[in-house]
Every structure is written in C-alpha cells, then in structure tokens.
Structure 1
Amino acid sequence: MTAIQFINLRLPERPQQLAGLKVEDGRFVSDFSPGASPETVDLAGHLVLPGLIETHIHLDKACIMDRCRLSEGTLEEAVSSTSQAKAGFTESDVYQRGARILEQAITQGTTHMRTHVELDPGIGLTGFHAIRRLQKDYAWAIGLEICVFPQEGLLNNPGTEALLCEALESGATVLGGCPYMDSDPLGQIRRLFELARHYDCDLDLHLDFDLNPEGMTIPEVIRCTCEYGWQHRVTIGHVTKLSALPSETFLETALALADAGVQVTALPATDLFLTGRDASHNVPRGVAPLPKLHECGVTCSLSTNNVGNPFTPFGDASLIRQANLLANVCHLGTPAELARCLAWVSEESARMIRLPDYGLAPGCHADFLVVDVRTPAHVISELGQPLMGFKAGRQTFERSPAMLLRP
C-alpha cells in the first residue's frame, strides 16, 4: 500500500493557514491505514490546487504554422489552410505534435484534458489513432478524453458519419459538432443528438462562431437537449454571437441555457484573434461573456482551443494564462472574480465534463499542482507558474523558481 503525506502547504479555502494532505493509493485520505509508514514531502508553504482541466483543445492540428498560410486572419482562411495541411498528416506526425503540447500542458499544471479530433474521409482515422496512442502513453501524467467531430461538415460530407461511429466504438467517449460548416446546420445538430443518444455519449459542439447576432443555432441545441433529455451533457464552445446580443435577448438566451443545462466554453485566445477583423474602430472583443452567463446559472469553462496554427498562431498550453486573458477581456479584478476565473479551469470544468472524484477532499483523486503564490486570486493576477504537479499522488514534473544573480 503506497502512502505519502504532504506538509506545510496552503489550501485554497484557507490560504492563511499551513495545512497537510495525505495520499494513499492515488487518492486523498483523511487518515492512513493502521501501520502505514508514509513518506513525507514538505511543500514549503506553497499553495496547492486541484489539477487544472483543459475542456477544449485540438491536439491533432497543433504546431502547424510552418505549413499554413496566414494573411487574412479569418476563420474561413484558418479552416481552408488547415484543411490543406491536414492532407499531409500522418499518424507519426500527429503523435509528435500532440505529444509536444501534452508535455507543455502537463508542466503548466493540467491533469485532465478533452481534445477534439477531426474525422472526415480525407484524414480518416489517422488523427484518432495517434491521439489514442497519446492517451495511453501519457496516462501517467494526464487523463485524455477524446471528442471526435466533423470539422468539414457531416450531412454534406458523405462517409464522415461512419467514421464518427467507428471512433465512438473504438475509444472516443464524446461526440462533437461544427454546424456552421454544414450545408444544413440545424440538420447536423439534430443528427448529432440522435447519435449521442444511440452511443450514450456527451456532446461538445463548436457553435455560433461570428459576431452577427442573427442566425443563432443555440435555440435548436436547447430544444434538442430538452427533447432528448441530455441536460448537463451538452457543451457549446465559442458561441461568440452571445457577445453581440442586446441585453434583453442575451438574458433570455442565458436563462434558457441554464434551464436546459447547456454549458458554455469560452476560447478567448482564438476568439480574440479571429473575430472583429472587419471593424475599423471600436473593435469588439468577441468572447462569450462568461461572468454574465455564470450569473444566470450557466455552467462555464474557458480553454485553450488551438496552439500554433491559423486559428491561434501562439500559445503555451497554460490555462492560467488563458484565465488571466479572460479576466482582462471581461474586466474581472476583485479577488472573488479572479478566483472564479481559476474555477473556470478547475472545479467548474470538472463539473462540465462530469469528471468524478475531483478536488482535494478525502476520496478524490490525488491530482494536484503546487504554485508559489499566496491565494487562488493571485494565481490569476500574478500568472503564477506551477512549481510541481502530481497525478494519483505521483510527481510528474518540477520547475525551479527563477533566481536573481546579484553582483
């Protein structure tokens, strides 16, 4: 029986006091079994947080800027350029690029990740097979959940549905969608719900990704969620149209999302980079307004989306950096607001993806990170870098703080 105790640490709910945590067989416990002789680790007064959770990222198309064109910076260009690059993807290529981002994420404190993987007749299952290998090879440090989706259309792209079904029968656990790329957006939404019911899987959809308040597909997602009884099993990402709605329409939509249990993920780096490019002045921010959605009772998260491709030609897989970015965009600065930003990459994200046994309480998986800051709010305001991380109580990385070399 493996036992370990961590001493001289600070917990999020009472950071002013030193505390301890005990781990046995990969889980936090209130006390060790009789006779246990645990190893002791002194965390020197640092703050401990449950592991961060990436709810929406694309490992299969990361780090491809050297093969893509970037001149207009639009969503259309990003889709087209990435599609052309995707034609040359191999399993080894996807694996190596995905591993690079996974390793960055691990050292940024991420212990669980949902990655979206594109399937279509052109790429087939190449990306999926690579991500399945990554899922196995990096399980020692990060839990990897696979969401397969039709980036280039479903109803207008024959053969895609069969690939989605094959992947769902071979290890994928979430079904995604991209209705705005389909010849029949509402038809794609309805078909995805039918497939989700058949495979008993959650849905995670790219949705309403522009700043035109007209033509929202959110109402159809809400309707289908209620019709199929899929409450709290549906997430919609981007939904930048929400930022363009008049106040009354937004409030009505947000309350409807909350009532239906439809969850929202904001992707600030990508959404800021791609939207608002046609404005000559007063450029809109174009990010789903998470604070207002939260106030209306919507479960929210924020995430990275892309790293090093035409959708987002930068990034380091740091969820803390993404949370800091969202705080700037949404004018969040009080300790409570900053702590909420942290929650949107931790406990709120765990609720969104229905991750069991998450946290620092007895019985939870001992997945956590150690940060050299005073409070949860300071993690966001000071861009606190994780010093070390643990998966199931086993240390996965260590980072030494910078040192001044005074003369």
Structure 2
Amino acid sequence: VDETLDPSSLDVRELARQVQDRGFEHQVAASHCVSLGMQTPEVQAEVAREIAEASIAVFPLPQTNLFLQGRELSSAIPRGLTAIRALQDAGVLVAAGADNVQDIYNQVGRSDPLETAALLVMAGHQLADDAYGMVSNDARDGLGLGRVELIPGAPADLLVINAVSPREAIADAPMSRRVYHRGELVASADQWTQIHRAV
C-alpha cells in the first residue's frame, strides 16, 4: 500500500482500521508503506500505533522503492522508505523483502535477502544484526511461517553461508551457499577465488 511519496495517501491507516473493524483470522502484512515515511513524526507515531493495534506486519521493499521513488526530483530526493523507526517504536513487526526482480521497476534486483539487508543498513539506518533479523525470522513471522532457531526439533529451513556473523554475511554477500528445506539440501551454489602470480 501507499507506494508513493504523496503524504495525502495513507491507505495503510485504512487497512489497519478495516482489520480492527472486521477482524482477520490470518496474518495481515502491508508492503511498501512509503508515504508513511513522508509524514510528520507525530503522524508517523499515531499511524504506527494503529498498525500495531491491528497486528499488521510491515514489509519495506528497499530495492524497488529506492529505485522508483523520487525519480522526478532533482534535489532533496527522499529515500522512499517507510517510517521504520516509528513502526518499530510502536511495536509493529517490521520485516523486509523484495519484489520486482530485474524488470522495469528494479533493473538489478536478485531476490537476495542479504542485498535487502545491506540496503536496510545503508538507507534504513538499521544495525546489521537487526537488518538480518528483518529478512530472516522477522520475515517468516510476518508471513505466518514461524521462526527457525538452531535447536533440536526446529524446522530445518536454512540458508547456510560461510560467514562468522550476520554483519559479515551482509557485507560480503558470499555466493557460496546451501539451502535446506525441511532438512533436505535443495539448492547449492559455489564461488571460489584464485590468485595468479604475476610473471
């Protein structure tokens, strides 16, 4: 909703009110919510409270919105992201994702959660661990899938990356990866570096 810089567009508020008035038995999530980022801090806080009361998860999609929003402007170009901090302060589940992959709306997207996390660090002012959480377990929660923890009995839906920390994984975005679904290896990719001696 509200994939616009126009502050008069606040459809996410109406969504929150509809969810509150009608009730929904399933998880409700809203993506983009760009115009919320264009509001005053007071309006951001007020709308964020309504979103929290309706238990709506919000998914910023930084790859697309950084590319699309503000293209017509030549100065003071806004980032085109939602009010992440105000939403978090209100207790809203803020996850993150991506849409538009290598199309007219996002020419270079690659559906890589680490790319999304890096953009959240750079443009959304998130710490690396928080950004990683937003594209991993917070995203699963926002979709009603439940969290994955490294404990016996937990769902073994995993992306295995050679990195010592979430920050390193985000910074290096290594392409050597293993994907497990229900404990079964379903995809793998390998990358290597070879240094040749100069003659």
TM-score (norm 1): 0.46
In structure 2, relative to structure 1, the CA distance for the partners of 1:357 and 1:296 (3 Å cut) is closer
In structure 2, relative to structure 1, the CA distance for the partners of 1:278 and 1:382 (3 Å cut) is same
Instruction: Decide whether the 8 Å contact of 1:232 with 1:261 is kept in 2.
Output: no
Pairs within 5 Å for 1:279-298: 279-298=73-92
Structure 2 residue aligned with 1:259: 53
TM-score (norm 2): 0.90
Q: Deviation per CA, 1:265-305: give whole Å up to 9, x if none.
A: 11111111111122220111011132332222111121110
CA distance in 2, matches of 1:248, 1:233: 27
Instruction: Decide whether the 8 Å contact of 1:231 with 1:260 is kept in 2.
Output: no
Q: How many residues align?
A: 197
CA distance in 2, matches of 1:375, 1:357: 19
CA RMSD of aligned residues (A): 1.8
Structure 1 residue aligned with 2:192: 402
CA distance in 2, matches of 1:344, 1:263: 11
Of the candidates 368, 387, 390, which is equivalent to residue 180 of structure 2? 390
Opposite residue 262 of structure 1, the aligned amino acid is I
Q: Deviation per CA, 1:125-178: give whole Å up to 9, x if none.
A: xxxxxxxxxxxxxxxxxxxxxxxxxxxxxxxxxxxxxxxxxxxxxxxxxxxxxx
In structure 2, relative to structure 1, the CA distance for the partners of 1:402 and 1:213 (3 Å cut) is same
In structure 2, relative to structure 1, the CA distance for the partners of 1:231 and 1:243 (3 Å cut) is farther
Secondary structure (helix, strand or coil) at the match of 2:178 reads strand
Of the candidates 151, 156, 159, which is equivalent to residue 369 of structure 1? 159
Structure 1 residue aligned with 2:6: 212
CA distance in 1, matches of 2:83, 2:175: 26
Shift of residue 225 of structure 1? 0.6
Structure 2 residue aligned with 1:378: 168
Q: Deviation per CA, 1:170-197: give whole Å up to 9, x if none.
A: xxxxxxxxxxxxxxxxxxxxxxxxxxxx
Opposite residue 172 of structure 2, the aligned amino acid is E
Of the candidates 316, 319, 335, which is equivalent to residue 113 of structure 2? 319
Secondary structure (helix, strand or coil) at the match of 1:344 reads helix
In structure 2, relative to structure 1, the CA distance for the partners of 1:286 and 1:366 (3 Å cut) is same
In structure 2, relative to structure 1, the CA distance for the partners of 1:291 and 1:379 (3 Å cut) is farther
Secondary structure (helix, strand or coil) at the match of 2:135 reads coil
Q: Deviation per CA, 1:235-263: give whole Å up to 9, x if none.
A: 11111001100111111111111121111
Q: Deviation per CA, 1:31-50: give whole Å up to 9, x if none.
A: xxxxxxxxxxxxxxxxxxxx
Opposite residue 396 of structure 1, the aligned amino acid is V
- Is residue 132 of structure 2 the alignment partner of residue 352 of structure 1? no
Structure 2 residue aligned with 1:226: 20
CA distance in 2, matches of 1:386, 1:344: 22
In structure 2, relative to structure 1, the CA distance for the partners of 1:262 and 1:398 (3 Å cut) is closer
In structure 2, relative to structure 1, the CA distance for the partners of 1:356 and 1:314 (3 Å cut) is same
Shift of residue 215 of structure 1? 3.2
Q: What percent identity do the matched residue pairs reach?
A: 26
CA distance in 1, matches of 2:124, 2:4: 18
Identify unmatched segments of 5+ residues in structure 2: none
Shift of residue 386 of structure 1? 4.5
Pairs within 5 Å for 1:125-274: 207-230=1-24, 233-274=27-68
Instruction: Decide whether the 8 Å contact of 2:64 with 2:105 is kept in 1.
Output: yes
CA distance in 2, matches of 1:400, 1:312: 26
CA distance in 2, matches of 1:276, 1:309: 18
Structure 2 residue aligned with 1:301: 95
Which structure's residues are more often strand, by fraction?
A: 1
Shift of residue 379 of structure 1? 1.6
Structure 1 or 2, whichever has the larger Rg, is 1
Runs of 4+ in 1 over 6 A off after TM superposition: none
CA distance in 2, matches of 1:232, 1:295: 24
In structure 2, relative to structure 1, the CA distance for the partners of 1:272 and 1:357 (3 Å cut) is closer
Instruction: Decide whether the 8 Å contact of 2:161 with 2:177 is kept in 1.
Output: yes
Instruction: Decide whether the 8 Å contact of 2:140 with 2:147 is kept in 1.
Output: no
CA distance in 1, matches of 2:47, 2:39: 9
CA distance in 1, matches of 2:147, 2:60: 24
